[in-house]
Structure 1
Amino acid sequence: MNVDELVRDSLREQAAEQPPLAPGFADRVLDVRRRRRTRRIATVAAATAAVVALAVAVPLLETGKDEVRLASEMNKSDIIAHPDQSPPRDLIAAGDVALAAYFTYSTVRTSKDTAVRQRTYRILDQRTGKYVEDDRWSMVSVAPGMRTAAVLERDLPVKRIGLLDLLTGEVDRWIPVERGVAGVVFSSDGGKLVATTYNANPDLLTRQDYDSNGDGKKNDYEPDHTTSHRTGFSVVDVGSGKADWHKVVSEDRQGIVNARQDFAFSGDGTSVYTGLTMEPHQQFYDLKGRKVPTPPDERYLHWSVGARLSPDGRLAAGDFAGDARTTASWILDPRTGKHLHKVRGQQLLAWVDNKRLIAWDITPGDNEFHNALVLVTIGSDRTLPLSGARKGNDGAAGRWTPVFATR
């Protein structure tokens, strides 16, 4: 295996260890743009010198109520960047896409031979515009508009889904579910959730009697890649709380599975998909649990690449296209898979508009794990830093994983 293949495999492992970015950016960004056309008044050139001012929640005087405006709406700048912050402390956004939350990992021992790979979330406080730690949750998915988040409690799998108010920090409502849930993702319109069900905690680790990660120490804790505890998925109507469960058996071949492999919605929201470790790398199901063909415009997407389709559906975020000296990713024709453009970035995370994306990228020559959030533009080799660089090596202190939503 050469250096390029090692880098590619490393990026895939990083993607496998985090939940997929909520799909449907095409629908969400277009919908938000229709409602907020007047917001887009700043240009990238003007924004590069801008540093976010703290957004303070103020009363909506015209309503006559004690409502407050969201911090993510108060600052209308096209680019809100904090290249000196890693992990971020203040709101980061580009266009109508914002960093809604991020999480870090820690290994928590549960017995002599077992542990749990546990997430700790920092969620945007919509009153102050700052990211605040909330250690109550094992999983967080933020709805479009960034007023509500779906949350799961610590001991997975759980039998209820919380709807967290991002202004008050309190759960407005609990949605009970019959099957144990360990993953949850909003639909593009925020009206549905797909909840992935498991009969055991997919984040469980077992102790190995050898040096599994090459750090010179034995007794590392690793996930089981030979057994899947996933049982299927439930489609949950957020308004009514009604949930329909559908059984899905893992179809990965050669005895290799990701212990956590959650479902997410397709671009148009009419189906859900799950990743596969082998080709074709993703499998789609309708909302009744029946296997369906891959949508034509998602045929060349990979589940580990979060950005997926551009807002207008004409471009697709592709795989890593760099080498040991440079970092780059492909932009594809979604219908043919043809390589159309090469842009900077190790991993394409979210489309901002039809020409710009948020990506992980590194300074040329630096450690591949010391990457920062950057704004990349099709047709340009320049990037605009949005955050400071992550530190440490893969899985070490200083690593954080973003959660995006439309503001």
Structure 2
Amino acid sequence: MNPANPVNVAEAVRDALRDQADRQPPAAPGLADRVLAARRRRLARRLASAAAATAAVVAVAVAVPLLDPGREDVRPAGVLDGGGILGHPDQSPPREFIAAGRTALAAYYTARTVARSEKEGVFTRTYRLLDPRTGRYEKDDRWSFVAAAPGLRTAAVLERRLPARRIGLLDLTTGEVERWIPAGRGVGGLAFSPDGSRLVATTYDEHPDLRDRVRSSSGEEQWLPRFGGKPGRTGFYVLDVPSGAGSWSPVAHRRDINSRQDFSFSRDGRLVYSQVVGDRDGLQQFHDLTGDEVAAPANERHLRSDVGARLSPDGRLAALGLTAEAEDRSWSSIRDPRTGEEITRVRGAHLLAWADDRRLIAWERAPGSESYRPRLVLVTIGSDRVVPLSGVREPDEDFDSLEWEPVFAER
């Protein structure tokens, strides 16, 4: 297949998907990525197999507790397509591949505020992306925003100047952009659908990461995210990844959002949502794919927009933070997603992603630390055991900078 010929690409994708639909159950996450990348994936697997053999020697292999007490499942680590645990508790930021169960650290970014003037700055990210050939995170400062697709083979990227007028589909193995999707309106944020076949691209009419220098009540000056004011976010594109086709939907301006408030897909991919600011944290507003505000789905209405883990893979459990009244900030709440009732609590100050239906990746406060110095850990429902995945992240300096922030994807 010649990737330069869009007609052949489209025909091949349609034929592959039609044949898959006739013979298979619903498509697994990352199908579109696999269809487009079939040829390079075979090469990547051969390279990754060699890298995995090396990585397994130096990686931390962890015995994983099963749901059945008294048994342990020791799984091979270092394989992108596997389900084992790979942690590097001595690394912060990480240098080598981190993963647990179905979820992997596909990338991470550091950030700092770069002044434009005395009173205005831009919060600027620098990404380190996973190289599947070596199992290491490599700096790539070409991009202002990166979203990783399921399968860890492709990332959607935006160039440095935001809002961007095109979206790149980056081959993580080669580091090259395979294709550009043009955008008639400026794009500032990206997110893949759960199956990886679509992108939601949030549009803005000004840079979404603007910071204003303000003086606090104590007289100290600091950079803070721009809030409210003139319209910034304008709407979103929903784009088909294989073809690049899609449409833009306008969204009315609201004053109860920050300057950056990107859209993400709902679990079933039929809606998008974003965070709004209100009397309590984590409020969310859903929209249909034409941009109209709609009620939250029954299984997502009790979720929090600021808790990344959201629904478990089987949809039966919801990951939330604790209430403000909670005394012990080292545990988080697991609830019934339809009723909002608490079922149990699990270790972790901030639940980031589900490794499987009973385990989650979380930020946890480092033991013995008075300040909030978190590390990535794997926690298990029904157990107080914590498996360290990364070293300790040092405290961020208010809104001026960010030491490192993870970007997860299903492997």
Over the matched positions of the two proteins, sequence identity in percent amounts to 52
Superposition deviation, residue 362 in structure 1:
1.0
Tell me if 1:271 matches 2:271.
Answer: yes
Contact 1:301/1:318 (8 A) holds in 2: yes
> In structure 1, how many angstroms separate the alpha carbons of the residues matched to 2:392 and 2:294?
40
Q: Partner residue of 1:15?
A: none
> In structure 2, how many angstroms separate the alpha carbons of the residues matched to 1:347 and 1:173?
36
Superposition deviation, residue 364 in structure 1:
4.3
> In structure 1, how many angstroms separate the alpha carbons of the residues matched to 2:258 and 2:72?
40
Tell me if 1:400 matches 2:408.
Answer: no
Instruction: Select the structure with the greater relative contact order (CA < 8 A; seq sep ≥ 6).
Output: 1
Residue identity matched to 1:266? S
- CA RMSD after TM alignment: 2.8
> In structure 1, how many angstroms separate the alpha carbons of the residues matched to 2:273 and 2:328?
34
Superposition deviation, residue 333 in structure 1:
0.2
TM alignment of 1:8-407, pairs within 5 A: 28=29, 44-45=64-65, 72-73=80-81, 76=82, 78-208=84-214, 210-211=215-216, 217-218=220-221, 220-227=222-229, 228-251=231-254, 255-278=255-278, 281-321=283-323, 323=326, 326-395=329-398, 399-407=403-411
> In structure 1, how many angstroms separate the alpha carbons of the residues matched to 2:297 and 2:268?
9
Contact 2:63/2:75 (8 A) holds in 1: no
Superposition deviation, residue 275 in structure 1:
1.2
TM-score normalized by structure 2?
Answer: 0.78
> In structure 2, how many angstroms separate the alpha carbons of the residues matched to 1:241 and 1:111?
37
Contact 1:177/1:243 (8 A) holds in 2: no
Superposition deviation, residue 242 in structure 1:
1.5
Q: Deviations over 1:83-138 (max 9, x none)?
A: 11100000000012100001111111223332110011111011110001111111
Superposition deviation, residue 217 in structure 1:
3.9
Contact 2:334/2:343 (8 A) holds in 1: yes
Residue identity matched to 2:179? R
Shift of the 269–368 alpha-carbon distance from structure 1 to 2, 3 Å rule, reads farther
Matched residue pairs, number?
Answer: 347
Q: Which runs of 5+ in 1 are unaligned?
A: 1-26, 30-41, 56-70
Superposition deviation, residue 291 in structure 1:
2.5
> In structure 1, how many angstroms separate the alpha carbons of the residues matched to 2:63 and 2:375?
22
> In structure 1, how many angstroms separate the alpha carbons of the residues matched to 2:267 and 2:329?
31
SS of match in other structure, 2:409: strand
> In structure 2, how many angstroms separate the alpha carbons of the residues matched to 1:164 and 1:140?
9
Contact 1:305/1:348 (8 A) holds in 2: yes
Residue identity matched to 1:272? V
Q: Deviations over 1:321-359 (max 9, x none)?
A: 585654111000001000001111111100111110001
> In structure 1, how many angstroms separate the alpha carbons of the residues matched to 2:213 and 2:341?
44
Contact 2:322/2:329 (8 A) holds in 1: no
Contact 2:209/2:260 (8 A) holds in 1: yes
Residue identity matched to 1:311? P
Q: Partner residue of 2:4?
A: none
Residue identity matched to 2:275? G
Contact 1:50/1:80 (8 A) holds in 2: no
Q: Deviations over 1:133-158 (max 9, x none)?
A: 11111110000001000000111101
Superposition deviation, residue 43 in structure 1:
5.2
Superposition deviation, residue 199 in structure 1:
0.2
> In structure 1, how many angstroms separate the alpha carbons of the residues matched to 2:243 and 2:103?
28
> In structure 2, how many angstroms separate the alpha carbons of the residues matched to 1:152 and 1:196?
12
> In structure 2, how many angstroms separate the alpha carbons of the residues matched to 1:388 and 1:103?
15
> In structure 1, how many angstroms separate the alpha carbons of the residues matched to 2:92 and 2:132?
20
Q: Partner residue of 1:37?
A: none
| Deviation beyond 6 Å, 4+ runs, structure 1 | 46-51
TM-score normalized by structure 1?
Answer: 0.79
